[in-house]
Chains A and B, each alone.
Chain A
Amino acid sequence: MSGTKIFVPCETAAISVGADEVAFAIAQAAKKNGENIELIRNGSWGATWLEPLVEVEVDGVRIAYGNVNTADINSMFDANFLNGGKHKRRLGPTDKIPYLMNQERWTFLRCGLINPLSIEDFELHQGFEALKKAFTDGAKAVLETVTESGLRGRGGAGFPTGIKWRTVANAEADQKYIACNADEGDSGTFSDRMLMEGDPLSLIESMAIAGFAVGASKGYIYLRSEYPLAHSVLSRAIETAREAGWLGKNIKGSGFDFDIELHLGAGSYVCGEETAMLESLEGKRGIVRFKPPLPALEGLFGKPTVVNNVITLASVANIINFGDARYADMGVDQSKGTLAFQLTGNIKRGGLVEKSFGVTLRELIEDWGGGTASGRPVKAVQVGGPLGAYIPANQLDIPMDYEAFIGIGAMIGHGGIVVFDDTADMAQLARFAMEFCAIESCGKCTPCRIGSTRGVEIIDKLIKDVDHQQNYELLIDLCDTMEGASLCAMGGMTPYPVKSALKYFAEDFTPSSEK
């Protein structure tokens, strides 16, 4: 008889707060008590504030225990934890936790549910069904479905995925590539990592679908080096998929060849920009390329290349499984489907919330997030990473919608939401935006390379109140130059956080004696 199933996430955030030690203590306690258990290291459900979140399966229902630490294990066993017994850490059935229950899981449907490295578990939950359907329906049908779903690039730019795929499909070439951008460098984002650690096979399946749709036989994943656990999980998942015949030559007799090579980045933020990423994949300095030519026509090694973010790709399998109409029915206007929002920074209930577009920033921060961790009022929220605008507390009712954000000079980006309380110094954060740009600029274009350093200097003068009006005007002028004349979003959008901080929090840019 197999033992009682116990789930402890093998995911960076959970491990960062003690999940490995908890798993070890559970195994020890079970041994000591002569209990037969099966310890499964699942992905995280994304209720990060409850990590380490331990589950026990009782009569087919998973019962959750939150914020478990090693000191709790003995008392949990004493409280009959293996049968879901009462304990101060007990939260009840996992699928009844409001934080999770009220989400609309699409891309993260299996994340937390399954053993990430088990092909059987994956297939038991519809894994590889979309790829089989693609083989049956043909490449044209896949392109049609992806286009009709309204899916847009989740890496930040929001470009329609179907159009990109069609461009590559229509290009004539002896070799085409799928390049998955897993260089998730934006502060406040971790959805790519959570998916790669919790459901890596879904990314592999979707990349194969993309390859099949556009006629590419080779895929690359460019993963940032700051994610060692994701690297290990993904490497093993690729190996497992290969052994099971889901990667390689003539996949499952379809006549379609596809394989994936996993590459590591080396700590450069700008390599998240698609053309810099392609340079890095070719073994070079990650310097941004001029566009055109578009990567869809001349991408990796000069060949037509689909460059998509992890979440964009991983959303495709269920679009094929459930149909484009169901995806397009979710969301608002031009922002269809769902986005995995990440609640981070100074927030009480941080984690990942997958919801349809249209949910407001306030709902995410207050209903899911529970406000700030410090209990102090929200001062500003940065959405969309270090290049995103700072949104003041009185604008939180804005719906999460690409166009609505563009309308207020902001961007949704990769769905990262960083909350700051009223102790935040917005002048220092604006200065940091310029400083970060100076550190990470690839150096190809002058506005970004030089402008960022000058930006730091001007903000320092503003803070010290040296020729305030003159330097204020100079900073705005510099921001306009960077926005208008930079080659990519690094220099082109660094002004967003700076200008929004100046606009909404002018009082922070005065000498500290006057604050």
Chain B
Amino acid sequence: MARINTETTSQIVKDHNNKPELLVQILQTIVARFGWIPPETIRQLAEELNLSRADVHGVVEYYHDFRTEEPGKHIIKICQAEACQAMGSRELTNYAQKTLAMGLHDTENDITLEPVYCLGNCACSPAVMVDGKTYGRVDKSLFNALLNSLRGDQ
């Protein structure tokens, strides 16, 4: 992902007509482009939207999507919700953590592993999202194949 810079942030704010009520949408656009919200961006958004830094910080820390740490090049999200649990997502999550030698919310070797609570793919459980694409009926071998394709990509 690209490195965030003040010009792009300003442009995103302008694209949203400098409206403070679009803060969630502005942050969502920033995360889609850059993967996370650095502290200096919070300061800049507060200034440009005429909000307090506390206001912006409060919104950033409230929502799961607004990461305040830089994620890896690839993001793997494993669904933890009930329908996926019924089809072994707990085992899959343990397997993923063991295979990647990392915990949920961790970033290692360009990969970030995150929990997610429902991808709306509950008739094809368990579900996993890799870099924004949802996969269904994921077993260990499919998980390995997905992982290998990411590693081949690096």
B: which residues have CB within 8 A of A?
A: 19-25, 27-28, 58-59, 62-66, 81-87, 116-125, 127, 129, 132-137
Number of residue pairs across A and B with beta carbons under 8 Å?
Answer: 148
Residue of B21, B28, B83, B119 near A282 (CB, 8 A) is B21
A405 interface contact, C-beta 8 A: no
Q: How far is the CA of A144 from the CA of B8 in the complex (A)?
A: 50
Evaluate contact between A226 and B63: CB separation under 8 angstroms.
Answer: no
Q: How far is the CA of A362 from the CA of B27 in the complex (A)?
A: 45
Evaluate contact between A285 and B136: CB separation under 8 angstroms.
Answer: no
Evaluate contact between A344 and B59: CB separation under 8 angstroms.
Answer: no
Q: Which chain B positions have C-beta within 8 A of A225?
A: 28, 65
The segment from A10-18, A119-127, A455-463 found at the interface with B is A10-18
Known: A12-B134, A16-B135, A429-B82. A267 touches B59 (CB 8 A): no
Evaluate contact between A268 and B64: CB separation under 8 angstroms.
Answer: yes
Across the interface, name the chain A residue whose C-beta is closest to B87.
A346
Across the interface, name the chain A residue whose C-beta is closest to B79.
A187
Q: Which of B59, B82, B87, B136 has the most CB of A within 10 A?
A: B82
The segment from A128-136, A414-422, A478-486 found at the interface with B is A414-422
A186 interface contact, C-beta 8 A: yes
Q: How far is the CA of A420 from the CA of B81 in the complex (A)?
A: 13
21 contacts between A and B (CB under 8 A): A12-B134, A13-B124, A17-B135, A48-B124, A187-B83, A188-B81, A190-B123, A227-B120, A266-B24, A266-B65, A267-B63, A268-B62, A268-B63, A284-B59, A301-B21, A345-B82, A345-B122, A350-B124, A386-B82, A432-B82, A440-B117
Q: How far is the CA of A440 from the CA of B20 in the complex (A)?
A: 24
Q: How far is the CA of A280 from the CA of B132 in the complex (A)?
A: 22
Residues 360 to 397 of chain A near chain B (Cβ within 8 Å): 373, 382, 386
Write the nearest CB–CB distance from A391 to chain B, whole angstroms: 13
Write the nearest CB–CB distance from A307 to chain B, whole angstroms: 17
Known: A225-B28, A266-B24, A269-B117. A420 touches B86 (CB 8 A): yes
Q: How far is the CA of A190 from the CA of B62 in the complex (A)?
A: 25
Evaluate contact between A283 and B21: CB separation under 8 angstroms.
Answer: yes
A242 interface contact, C-beta 8 A: no
Q: Which of A48, A265, A345 has the most CB of B within 10 A?
A: A345
Residues 325 to 361 of chain A near chain B (Cβ within 8 Å): 342-347, 350-352
Q: How far is the CA of A266 from the CA of B27 in the complex (A)?
A: 9
Q: How far is the CA of A269 from the CA of B63 in the complex (A)?
A: 9
A-B pairs, 5 with minimum CB distance? A350-B123, A187-B81, A267-B64, A345-B86, A266-B63
Evaluate contact between A342 and B24: CB separation under 8 angstroms.
Answer: no
Q: Which chain A positions have C-beta within 8 A of B21?
A: 282-283, 301
Residues 217 to 250 of chain A near chain B (Cβ within 8 Å): 224-229
Q: Which of A265, A267, A373, A420 has the most CB of B within 10 A?
A: A267
Q: How far is the CA of A441 from the CA of B1 in the complex (A)?
A: 31
Q: How far is the CA of A184 from the CA of B120 in the complex (A)?
A: 8
Across the interface, name the chain A residue whose C-beta is closest to B23.
A283
Q: How far is the CA of A188 from the CA of B123 in the complex (A)?
A: 8
Q: How far is the CA of A116 from the CA of B85 in the complex (A)?
A: 32
